[in-house]
Amino acid sequence: MTVNRLSAFSAKVQLSAEELQILLNEPLQTPDSPQMLRLISFMLMKAEAATGIPFSQFPVTVELLSAQDGSLAAYFTAQNEPVGKSPQAKTVRLAARFPDRETLICCCTLLQQEAEQIMDSRFYQYQAFWILTLRVQRAKAGIVHHILLEYGTPFRLSAMNRAKLAEYGICIHEKNAIGKLCRNMGSGKRCPKG
């Protein structure tokens, strides 16, 4: 078992195929099966002990990835707020991929209307896609997510995905990408919806 600290509130735990066979007495089933939940609890305990991140004090999101060699990786991210505390003032990281730059720019014209909810926006080229990443006030994240859904494929930007973009993506605009893309589009041009 290997444990890696990814950030102040996230960690990766990886089990080899051999370790999985030792820990599990039957084949892996659904992520919410009792056996899988016990395994996740065990991995989370190991992550907390190895990294010092107090996962038990926060709500935790879990991402599971299984590889072709039979190994299993779990990415744990603590939501940096005590249980019961209002999350409305917090922010979330969203992203969306777009098939072409024109579709992305059309989306940005609508996102500009929600600019006060968007704390930060960045624009990447990743493989064959255009990627827009956003940090949004959680209270209004649903509105922004709906706009992203109209034009692209939105997803929650995890610590793992941020690291992947930083390593493999070409960052075109680092700050306020929405404003820069709309200015580059030129005045007077209208985009059809969807």
Residues paired with 33 in a beta bridge: none
**What is the three-class DSSP state of 81?**
coil
Domains of the chain: 2-78 (no CATH), 91-185 (3.30.70.1950)
SS (H, E, C) 22-41: HHCCCCCCCCCCHHHHHHHH
Q: Between the ranges 5-9, 44-48, 60-64, where is the mean pLDDT highest?
A: 44-48
Q: Is 118's pLDDT higher than 70?
A: yes
> Which structure tokens are listed for 78?
């603590």
pTM of the model: 0.52
pLDDT confidence tier of residue 64, bands split at 50, 70 and 90: confident
Sequence-ordered strand ranges (E) for the chain: 2-7, 10-15, 60-66, 72-78, 91-98, 118-126, 129-137, 153-156, 170-173
| pLDDT, tens digit (0-9, with 9 covering 90-100), for 163-175 | 888 888 888 888 8
Which candidate, 176, 171, 172, 179, places its Cα nearest to that of 109?
179
